[in-house]
Structure 1
Amino acid sequence: MSENEHVHTPRDLFGYRLIRDELIPDLLGNHSKDILYWAGKKLARNYPCQNEGEVIAFFERAEWGNLSIIKQKRDEILFELTGQSVQERFSHHDPVFTLEAGFAAEQIAMIKQYHTEAVYTRNKKNCVQIELKWDLKEPYDLPSRKTKQ
């Protein structure tokens, strides 16, 4: 294993899970899902990706899980989110993935240049599917991209 590679153990994810799945829902209450969705969109505007491959790489870098494209059509994409961080979150709570869905929706909106919305579902394999649809009649019109490193 090289110096830059890191193997994650459940202990590595404890702090993330503690904040994400216990503290934030307690602080935000019933509004947690909506606020996290819009927070994901804001994060996407701060960390724009140029294509779907960069979105996938961002998810790995943020340790949100392994994102892959399952299906793509003219006006929609179906992503699947898997990996140890997803499994770890499922093993302790019934986690929400609206932050990830909002992030993906805004990234695809910026890439495709159409207003995009996302919904997520948990499937029987304990992975998350994020379905994104964009409206070809509604061009994307949010502020210009900023880049953070």
Structure 2
Amino acid sequence: MNKYEKFRKEHSDSPFWGIELLRDSLLPDLLDQDIHDILYWGGKDLATKFPVASNDDLQAFFKQSQFGNLELKKENIKKISWKLSGPEVETRLKLNKDPDFMLEAGFLAQTKQQIDQISTECEATIKLNSVNFNVVSDPNAPVNNPSDFKTINIAK
């Protein structure tokens, strides 16, 4: 059974086929071994185009963008831990041997960097039905947002 048949059989009423088609079928073929790096930087770029103002807005943005349900697990000055779950994530994990969540990781890193204005990176760890993200900041490495930086208003 091919990926399309498997998807339709298990998720016939799911609206995620378009995302699945692009994220886990086309992009891996186009980007090959560079997929993780390119999608990470792509996520950072998206965060500069769609900057959110808070963790609540970030969670709403992830849901509206069909990335999944983003849940804050732990936060301190240097590190924030997130869990990404939901049907979008479960579908991608079931259908793919090596699903990539670096787009989301890059988005999380850049968003935290823009909010706190300190250098930040993110690491993703795939679990059984979810993905954990550890966003680590360096309080000793300040960065400045562009002078025209303005967050978007998230509809909730």
* Residues 38 and 99, structure 1, Cα contact 8 Å, conserved in 2: yes
Q: Which residue of 2 aligns with 1:5?
A: none
Mark the runs of 5 or more structure 1 residues left unpaired by the alignment: 1-7
* Residues 10 and 88, structure 1, Cα contact 8 Å, conserved in 2: no
| Distance in 1, Cα, partners of 2:35 & 2:150 | 26
Q: Which residue of 1 aligns with 2:73?
A: 70
Residue 103 of structure 1 aligns to a residue whose secondary structure is helix
**How many pairs does the alignment contain?**
141
CA separation of 1:17 and 1:51: change in aligned 2, threshold 3 A: same
Match of 1:107 among 106, 111, 116: 111
Mark the runs of 5 or more structure 2 residues left unpaired by the alignment: 1-10
Normalising by structure 2, report the TM-score.
0.85
How far does the alpha carbon of each residue in 1:7-44 deviate from its partner, in whole angstroms, 9 at most, with x for none?
x9653111110110110010011101100000000000
What is the aligned-residue identity percentage?
38
Q: Which residue identity is paired with 1:95?
A: P
CA separation of 1:139 and 1:26: change in aligned 2, threshold 3 A: same
Q: Which residue identity is paired with 1:106?
A: Q
Q: Which residue identity is paired with 2:18?
A: G
Query: Which contiguous aligned blocks of 4+ residues in structure 1 show a shift greater than 6 angstroms?
Result: none
Match of 1:130 among 116, 133, 142: 133
Normalising by structure 1, report the TM-score.
0.88
* Residues 114 and 136, structure 1, Cα contact 8 Å, conserved in 2: yes
2:43 is the alignment partner of 1:40: yes
Supply the RMSD in Å over aligned alpha carbons: 1.7
